[in-house]
Amino acid sequence: MLLFRWRRLFLFLGDAALFYAALGLALITRRFSLVPLDFYQWHVEVFSIFLPVWAGVFYVVGFYDLRRINKLVNLINASLISFVVNLGAASALFYALYLKLGLSPKTHLFLTVFYLHILATLWRRIWTRVVLSKLLVQKVAFLGANPLVEEMKRDLHNTPALGFSVVDLPEPVPADQPREGYWRPDGRRGGNLGAKVDLLVVDADDAEKNPAMESLLLSTAVMEEIPIITHLDFYEDLYAKIPPEHAAKSSWLLSNVLHQSNRLYAWLKRLLDIMAAAAGLVLALPVMAAVYAVIKLSAGLSAPAFFLQERVGHLGRRFVIWKFRTMVVGADKAGPLYKAGGPDARITRLGRFLRGARLDEIPQLWNVLKGDMSLVGPRPEWTREVEILERSVPHYHLRHLIKPGVTGWAQIHLHATSSEAESVEKLHYDLYYVKNMSLALDLGIILRTFRRIFQKDAGMIKKTALSV
């Protein structure tokens, strides 16, 4: 995701500046006059404690997802949600610390949050409509042609807020007829390719069809310090998943997945899982007790409150997953990969609420504590589904190279799968996680999981750029 991080970095730096501007506006509004510099500096020192909280909420609600905030409706919706959540979080922090820090009246806090969200919304509108699409747009040229390249070209053309403009490569000029502004086949500097292209995306297989011509163009790009990236890596950065036709190739698997072994992070990940699961179970105990009681009262004392099912875990090992029951007893008799024609009648009214609030997932913390699962990883599938998918989906078993998770990269991008085609799509995201697993990615997934509370599965999209 290196191609896109600088964009979010600029957005964050703008948010930080707007935060202090919003604080200044709040103080001026409250006092109906300019404030002394030392008075403002004191508030800056004290209110800076809220900045990481608000930045975290911005990330969770999708305020840094350029594809999402490109649409005005989505931008306003995210802004309203962020305002409510940030106001609640800031108020809680205010009342927890105001005596110790001597915070100023809470009116300052409300006005700061209010002005911050107005300014941040306007900042994003300017950023996507003016800065990225007109001032800082990167000119991208594609060397080679295939369906994947054509798909990316269409998407970049239809989404200017991503900050890329697709341009054609200049035609080569014979060595005895050099012209200014064109790259020169003699390889000498001065071809001026950099004036036309900011990023060169190359299909390596296609480049081999005309190696002499392609090597001249690539060497010119190298001399002029134009970044070069393969079309597979560009696709992975753009959509945050593995390209479909390459995910099952042995060459890709050997070079990107099978050789990797990060034992140090695996150890750290397990340590964090134990600490988080133990703390989560203790903190969630009152909620779990309340959910258990409500399920028993609504379904009858004889009905089981927990749903237990055998799933496939790390390296194909089987384990029993724990969840609160959200369906009628015997719902799994419908079989694997079941897809309801409309609203699933097997889900109870209480179950829909539990699923919407993600409360049915809490008992899985016990699986995490036991070591069957991790907090983050590919979701564990029902053994009967795995038996079908491993026969029909190439390399489906590779998602079992790491422990399954309570949440995962595919889960924050896709709705629940109910067909082989959807499972293939999910596998492409799972392989992305297997390849790129890291602490930063795990933290990003956990934060974005909270966003799912505000989203409906029907609204999930299958291609999302700038996701981490």
* Closest of 304, 299, 288, 303 to residue 350, by C-alpha: 299
Same domain? For 310 and 363 the reply is yes
Q: What is the pLDDT of residues 109-139, one digit of tens each?
A: 888 889 999 999 999 888 877 777 667 778 8
Query: Does residue 160 share a domain with residue 126?
Result: no
- Mean pLDDT, all residues of the chain: 79
Per-residue DSSP letter, 378:
S
CA distances in angstroms from 252 to 428, 432, 434, listed in the order given: 13, 12, 13
- As a residue count, the chain comes to 468
- Report H helices in 63-178: 66-69, 72-101, 106-126, 147-158
Q: Are residues 381 and 428 in the same domain?
A: yes
Residue 251 lies in a domain: no
With respect to residue 339, please indicate whether it lies within any of the assigned structural domains.
no
Look up residue 24 and give its amino acid. G
**Do 99 and 124 fall into the same domain?**
yes
What's the whole-model pTM score?
A: 0.74
Q: Among residues 239, 254, 286, which one ends one of the domains?
A: 239
pLDDT at 238 over 90: no
Tell me the residue range of the domain where 402 lies. 263-332+344-459
Distance of CA 60 to the CA centre of its chain: 9
Longest dimension (CA), the chain: 90
Long-range contacts of 287-291 (CB under 8 A, 24+ apart): 287/359, 287/362, 288/362, 288/363, 291/324, 291/354, 291/359, 291/362
Does residue 399 sit within a domain? Answer: yes
Residues 297 and 170 occupy one common structural domain:
no
Please report whether residue 67 resides in a domain.
yes
Nearest to 223 by CA among 190, 199, 201, 176: 190
**256 inside domain:** no
Nearest Cα residue to 162 out of 429, 459, 463, 466 = 466
Give the domain CATH number at 224. 3.40.50
User: Do residues 320 and 360 share a domain?
Assistant: yes
32 torsion bin: left (phi>0), alpha (psi -120 to 50), beta (else): left
- Which of 207, 239, 271 corresponds to the end of one domain? 239
Q: Do 35 and 83 belong together in one domain?
A: yes
Domain stop point among 135, 168, 185: 135
Flag whether 28 is in a domain.
yes
Q: Is residue 257 one of the residues assigned to a domain?
A: no
**Are 100 and 126 in the same domain?**
yes
Per-residue model confidence as pLDDT tens digits over 305-319: 999 999 999 989 999
Closest by alpha carbon to 460, among 424, 411, 427, 398?
411
Establish if 253 belongs to a structural domain.
no
Total number of domains in the chain = 3
25-51 confidence digits (pLDDT tens): 888 887 766 766 766 776 677 778 788
Q: CB neighbours of 125 closer than 8 A, spacing ≥ 6?
A: 72, 75
Q: In terms of domains, do 26 and 150 share one?
A: no
